[in-house]
Chain A
Amino acid sequence: MSYPQPHPRFSVLSNSSLSSAEHLSPASSSRFSLPSAPSINTATTPKPGVRPNIYDRPLNKTRNAEVSAAAFAFMFSEIVQYTQKRVSGINDLERRLNTLGYRIGTRVLELMAWRNESAAKAPKRETRFLPALMSIHTHVWRAVFGKPADAIEKSVENADEYMIIDNDPPITRNISVPRDMSSLSCSSFTAGIVEAVLDGLGFSARVTAHNTPNDQYPNRTTILIKLEKSVLEREEALKT
């Protein structure tokens, strides 16, 4: 955070204090990515100014690349603010975030499956619901958030409801929802991703996000999956 030219307002920052400004920089915080983390925009061609075509870039290149958590947090914050300006209520806001997540989910599904399966002799898809749910819990979460989710639960009351639980969702870690909007969960974005993945695999469902804090995890979030009837019927038929 050493600014090449101090803003005119901050002419108070002398050269001598700039050295102290260096340790003011929050770069020492573990939340900020290290500069050594590979950037996802690294061009394959060394020529400056020439961006490689998307078809020229190997899909595995960014497999282990990291994205700055801070950069994402700021962007997600802007996404929420942008969306909030254009909606009339909490439900509308959640629906829009869900739609944004859905667009990501369709891509995540294809990319994740390609990375996992393309080297296999006979690439496979998930055709049964429970393995698909497990794969969302571990693979999708790992691909998107870098860690698996914390639990999967099946609703006791409704046979068509399943829940994926994250004790501390990385995307909402820095978000404090004001009291008058307390029912809002910005994890609707994640719900959209899950919905897209399930839809893609042929398990149509309505996916929503809910805050379910407990004493240990104030940010605990439940992603609720309500499957469509046809999916349950098909599962039943495939059982035999």
Chain B
Amino acid sequence: MSHHLFLLSPSDTPLYSLTHYSSKPSQSTSSPLASNLPSWSTSAFAGTLTALSGASSASQTQHGQGGTVKIGGGQDRHVIQMIANASLDAIEEVMRKESVMYLKSVDKFNEWTVSAFVTPGNMKFVLLHESRNDDGIKAFFNDVWELYVKTMLNPFHTAHTPIRSPVFDARVRASAKKHL
């Protein structure tokens, strides 16, 4: 079972991304959420995407450290990015009205659920996940937020530029390990 995190600037430029393979027991195959999902993607556009994900993952070497990786399950990097980007529309729609920062399950695509966190400065943290884990995700987002604020306070960091700090990376990974 994997998680994909993207940090996007207000202009939707990706500043940081992380793929996390959870060591927690996978239950995605039996998850009622996941089994419901395919029926959701009925639009013609989604159909094309599913085809795309299937086609590209056929030639892809499987990775994963414990979680099961499903064939044709949209594990391809490009598809993941596309899902994350596609969910931005949904996020922007919701964040206009909702004042909460944590937007849980704003979008769904096949087996992926997209949760997001919008900071006051309009930075978007987007997380693709397969199973429901609201509390863990919320705690994870809170950690990332704190780390992001600390990054902002670094005088040598320019706002809205890619985050390259190895310490930031290590902290986010540690938090992902703990909560996801």
Chains A and B in contact, CB within 8 Å? yes
Binding site for B on A (CB under 8 A): 53-55, 57, 59, 103, 106-107, 109-111, 113-114, 117-118, 122-127, 200-202, 234, 238
Alpha-carbon gap, A169 to B148, bound state (A): 30
Residues of B within 8 A of A234 (CB): 96
**Dominant secondary structure of chain A at its interface with chain B:** helix
A interface footprint on B63-97 (CB within 8 Å = 1, 0 otherwise) = 00000000000000000000000000000000111
Residues of B within 8 A of A113 (CB): 119-121
Residues of B110-154 contacting chain A, CB below 8 A: 118-123, 142, 145-154
Alpha-carbon gap, A111 to B147, bound state (A): 11
Residue of B99, B148, B151 touching A127 (CB-CB under 8 A):
B99
Residues of A within 8 A of B153 (CB): 54, 59, 107, 111
Residues of B within 8 A of A57 (CB): 150
Closest A residue to B171 by CB, please name it.
Answer: A55
Residue of B10, B118, B142, B159 touching A125 (CB-CB under 8 A):
B118
Closest B residue to A200 by CB, please name it.
Answer: B121
What is the CB-to-nearest-CB distance from B96 to chain A, in angstroms, rounded to a whole number? 7
Alpha-carbon gap, A234 to B96, bound state (A): 9
What is the CB-to-nearest-CB distance from A41 to chain B, in angstroms, rounded to a whole number? 12
Binding site for A on B (CB under 8 A): 10, 95-102, 118-123, 142, 145-154, 159, 165, 167-168, 171
How many A-B pairs have beta carbons closer than 8 Å: the answer is 81
- Which of B150, B168, B171 has the largest number of chain A CB atoms within 10 A? B150
What is the CB-to-nearest-CB distance from A161 to chain B, in angstroms, rounded to a whole number? 23
Residues of A within 8 A of B151 (CB): 54
Residue of B99, B146, B148 touching A126 (CB-CB under 8 A):
B99
Residues of A within 8 A of B147 (CB): 55
A109/B97 contact (C-beta < 8 A), A57-B150, A103-B159, A118-B146 known: no
Alpha-carbon gap, A124 to B95, bound state (A): 11
Closest B residue to A106 by CB, please name it.
Answer: B159
Q: Is the CB of B120 within 8 A of A118?
A: no
Residue of B10, B100, B122, B171 touching A122 (CB-CB under 8 A):
B100
Q: Is the CB of B100 within 8 A of A110?
A: no
Residues of A within 8 A of B99 (CB): 124-127
Residue of A59, A106, A201 touching B150 (CB-CB under 8 A):
A59
Alpha-carbon gap, A127 to B101, bound state (A): 11
Q: Is the CB of A110 within 8 A of B152?
A: yes
Residue of A114, A124, A200, A201 touching B145 (CB-CB under 8 A):
A114
Closest A residue to B119 by CB, please name it.
Answer: A110
Q: Is the CB of B122 within 8 A of A202?
A: yes
Closest A residue to B10 by CB, please name it.
Answer: A200
Q: Is the CB of B145 within 8 A of A118?
A: yes
Alpha-carbon gap, A127 to B118, bound state (A): 12
Residues of A within 8 A of B97 (CB): 127, 238
